[in-house]
Amino acid sequence: MRSLILICGLLLSMVACQKAETPKPPSTNPEEAATTAIGVLQKLVNEQNFRELGFDSVDQVKQAQPGQPFNVFEIGLEQLKGYKAEADPNGLLAQSPKTLYPVVVNGQVKSSFTVNHRESGYQASSFGNAAIIKSLSQYRQSGVVGNDFVVRVPAFNMYYLGRRIENRLLLVPIIDDPRLKLKPGEAVPAQTVIEQLVPLAKEYNGLPM
């Protein structure tokens, strides 16, 4: 009887081990990480969260493909506080190790994921953010692949499209923010945006916005 119990225990352990997925090591390139991310997203989507993740149905994620990625730059809170009028706004941009990928279904942007570049390789994270990626993609310049990038202000959770035209840095607001005198979709000189963000930075109390 005791032997039977031990055998059953071993069998259960083997089944449990087979069901448990071994975490995959980081990929050696961003394209491989993006492909892996689609597989992870397909496992994440279920009846309870498919709308939250940006999809119209659970089955729709089966057709998901990674879209053209956005490079990401960030502007820190302390950099905003120390910004001097007329200074070159390019000096505020810090290249992020993250790349933002749209998730596309039949040519339509539905969701997103982020690929992080670390010393060990590339690994995907931060799935979803459907509203952000749809707005970024809506105002992205068509026909100029790789020109537009993302400029993020982490302290305020703000996102802008960035683009350079004739060595000028332009920013495109993607939402209507009542605190700023900016129109969504309208490219304006980066300095115009920065000068409106500086007072917010100086008054920021550190609480989530």
Would you say 152 and 96 are in contact if contact means Cβ atoms under 8 Å apart?
yes
CA nearest neighbour of 63 among 31, 41, 36, 34: 41
List the structure tokens of 198.
Answer: 């500086």
Predicted confidence (pLDDT) at residue 97 exceeds the cutoff of 60: yes
CATH topology of domain 23-203: prostaphopain b, domain 1 (3.10.500)
pLDDT digits (tens, 9 = 90+) for 119-151: 889 999 899 999 999 999 999 987 655 589 999
Name the residue ranges covered by the structural domains of the chain.
Answer: 23-203
pLDDT digits (tens, 9 = 90+) for 79-94: 999 999 889 999 999 9
- Mean pLDDT in the chain? 87
Question: How many whole angstroms separate alpha carbon 154 and alpha carbon 9?
Answer: 50
pLDDT digits (tens, 9 = 90+) for 177-200: 999 999 999 999 999 999 999 999
Q: What is this structure's pTM?
A: 0.84
